Structure 1
């Protein structure tokens, strides 16, 4: 996190000094631009197809099942924001079979139980954005978001500064959740 003094903002040509600090998050520009988003073909260009080939620590994988895995979101809304992802590269919920649907539901429940146990989440937002027009960042590979919520977790930062404040590094969150994940979801 870098807070820039107004005189430096002016030197950078960013406008008139206004005595406001700036939180810079340049790592998010790749996400905003859509860099490395997968094609509909799948394979190594798809992060959700590539992640299972990594170690759990490197891929931020919390748990692996037969048909589905749970992974931390690289761009979380809140600490503990998980994704339940089928291994099979399909874009739409109607494309997964009964066994995949069952395991996806079980992983979603296990994610909720685990995050409650580890961090005391008081509620959850759960859902899928189907297609780019519906807001899916990676529309070519189905994934379900499990976003933990707490009273007061929404403050001025996302609204005013368009910035999320996360109290824990992803590697530490992954370690805690993986250790608490039930043996059989």
Structure 2
């Protein structure tokens, strides 16, 4: 073998050894990088799981809060419906009693009004009999119209109270 061939063989041997070393280094770096990426992936997945768990917890808490508010609103609605029903029953009973003349509506007359022509003194004297205040009875039709007006007012007040309670329940839930 000539010295050039020996030198060429040595260069080839060195190149092969360098390529083998580079390949081995490449493989080691690849394994290390895979390990590092696997650890990062595990940490990332753990963080995602924690975020998802917290989101589910918050969603469940909000849903529970909404259900509790709906239940309170439903209970308040039932209470107000019961109150309205009771008031309507009382009003119907009063209308019936007015219609059958069991009850008569009357208004207090002004004892100082000279147009009434009352000869009974407004204030009792020591010797006289105590007189009750003078009252005028209303016509049953007028009485029923007055009752209808007060019925509407009562129903409006009950509905207003129901709305106010509902708004308070919603306000306190948030």
Q: TM-score range by the shorter chain?
A: under 0.3
Higher relative contact order (CA 8 A, sep 6+): 2
When Rg is computed on C-alpha atoms for both structures, the one with the higher figure is 2
Q: TM-score normalised to the size of structure 1? A: 0.17
